Amino acid sequence: MLNYTLQRLLQLIPILFGITFLSFLLMYMAGSDAVTEMYTNRGVEVAQEIIDAKKADLGLNLPFFRQYLSWLQAMLHGNMGTSYVTGEAVLESFLRKLPATILLTTLSILLTVVISLPLGILAAVRHNKAEDLVLRFFSFIGNAMPNFFVAMLLMQLLGIQLNLLPVISGGTDWQSTIMPTMTLAIAMSAKYLRQVRSTVLEELNKDYVLGAKARGVSRKVILWKNVMKSAMLTIMTLLTLSIGSLLGGTAIIESIFMWDGVGKLAVDAINMRDYPLIQAYVMWMAIIYVVVNLIADLLYHHLDPRIRLGVSRK
């Protein structure tokens, strides 16, 4: 197990470096920079000499590889740089916003599990019955609606029409949390309801279930002691990957609801071409996806004997 973990970690290191290089290259090729955007947004005209001096002060006049290597060296020593716009340390700004994103992600995952797991099992058990058809219809609708559209619907209904919840987040209190959590959970629940249904239905059609039925074992015992035990590996892996997706991909929802997390921080940084903050967010997403995929691999390796045997024969 230890050798397998070390092998996977070594494979992930070049992936992280490749992601940082590509993201830095794309930002360099964007055709704009923080200095130009800063003066443009202020609506003032500044002499080119002042702009050039500011770029030189920030190191934006250096060749691409020198900029990248300078950033990489500082990052490897724990220094993610200083924001071009606010002048604050990037790591401190990032860590200050991180708890709000983690809170939103945790609540969304919990709500997704509460919705998708029992409804997915119900749809599988009631295959092609009325319950299954209704749940499949609503899951199709949920999959078809993008997150920003769901957010607009909830804001119109709960915030404007019924006046039950604030449209714009006022912090991390429970009222401000409800709508962004529901927005993320609705789309995820629609997707994972179908996944849970498919996984449980596949297990229900296997020979060992037919054998258990023939021996007189009750459907309830078969479902919870046999089928769910086999299906939980796939379900757990899907949910694990969703955590990474949410932690790295809540930017749009945070921006819509003005939720003060790292996603909104990244969108603001992109608009201002604040490269150190953008690069910190890219590193955050890369590390999250890499770590979550590693955890999923290790879970499979630990829980599925077929994978352990396959690895040991290599």
Coil vs helix vs strand at 122: helix
CA distance 274 to 189: 35
Is the backbone of residue 165 left (phi > 0), alpha (psi -120 to 50) or beta? Answer: beta
Encode pLDDT of 133-154 as tens digits.
Answer: 999 999 889 888 888 899 999 9
Q: Could you tell me the pTM of the whole model? A: 0.78
Beta-bridge partner residues of 89: 82
Q: Find, among 126, 120, 166, the residue nearest to 142 by Cα.
A: 120
User: Residue 190 burial by CB count (10 A; 0-12/13-18/19+): exposed, middle or buried?
Assistant: buried
Q: Does position 177 have pLDDT exceeding 80, yes or no?
A: yes
Encode pLDDT of 193-210 as tens digits.
Answer: 888 888 888 888 888 888
**Helix (H) or strand (E) segment spanning residue 80:** none
Encode pLDDT of 84-112 as tens digits.
Answer: 778 888 888 888 888 988 898 889 888 98
Cβ within 8 Å of residue 31, ≥6 positions away: none
Encode pLDDT of 2-41 as tens digits.
Answer: 776 787 778 778 888 888 888 888 877 776 666 776 666 6
Q: CATH topology for 90-312?
A: MetI-like fold (1.10.3720)
Q: Find, among 30, 31, 48, the residue nearest to 39 by Cα.
A: 48
Q: Given pLDDT bands bounded at 50, 70 and 90, which one contains residue 83?
A: confident
Residue with tokens 């999250």: 288
Domain ranges of the chain: 19-76, 90-312
Tokens describing residue 106 = 């945790």
What pLDDT, on the 0 to 100 scale, is given for residue 207?
84
